[in-house]
């Protein structure tokens, strides 16, 4: 589920001079988060938006992909660009 006008360069970007390669799902997750900066998304909202309605809401796929995305884009940074609000999203 990719927005037609969303830049494809996010799939192969750079952070502090190093190349970052993102999977399609990581790009979808990053798109969702970047379109609404500061908004807290529930796990269900992320599952519906990025994976569609066929995923079990008890799955940990969102946690895994957030961890992968953080490892790629926050590597070497003092502050995480993607935050977590316990109990909310």
How many residues are recorded in the chain? 89
In three-state secondary structure terms, 87 is coil
Q: Which fold has domain 8-73?
A: Arc Repressor Mutant, subunit A (1.10.10)
Identify the helix (H) or strand (E) that includes residue 20. strand 18-21
What number of helices (H) and strands (E) belong to the chain?
3, 2
- Residues in the chain with pLDDT values less than 50: 1-6, 9-11
Q: What is the pLDDT of residue 58?
A: 76
Q: What is the pLDDT of residue 89?
A: 56
Name, in order, each residue with C-beta under 8 angstroms of 7's C-beta and a sequence gap of 6 or more: none
- Please tell me whether the overall predicted TM-score, pTM, comes out greater than 0.85 for this model: no
pLDDT of the residue at 16: 56
């Amino acid at each position: 589920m990719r927005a037609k006008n969303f830049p494809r360069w996010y799939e192969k970007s750079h952070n502090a001079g190093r190349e970052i390669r993102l999977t399609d799902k990581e790009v979808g997750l990053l798109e969702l988060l970047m379109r609404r900066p500061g908004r807290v998304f529930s796990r269900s909202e992320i599952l519906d938006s990025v994976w569609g309605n066929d995923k079990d809401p008890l799955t940990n796929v969102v946690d895994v992909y957030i961890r992968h995305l953080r490892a790629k884009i926050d590597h070497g940074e003092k502050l995480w660009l993607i935050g977590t609000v316990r109990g909310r999203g």
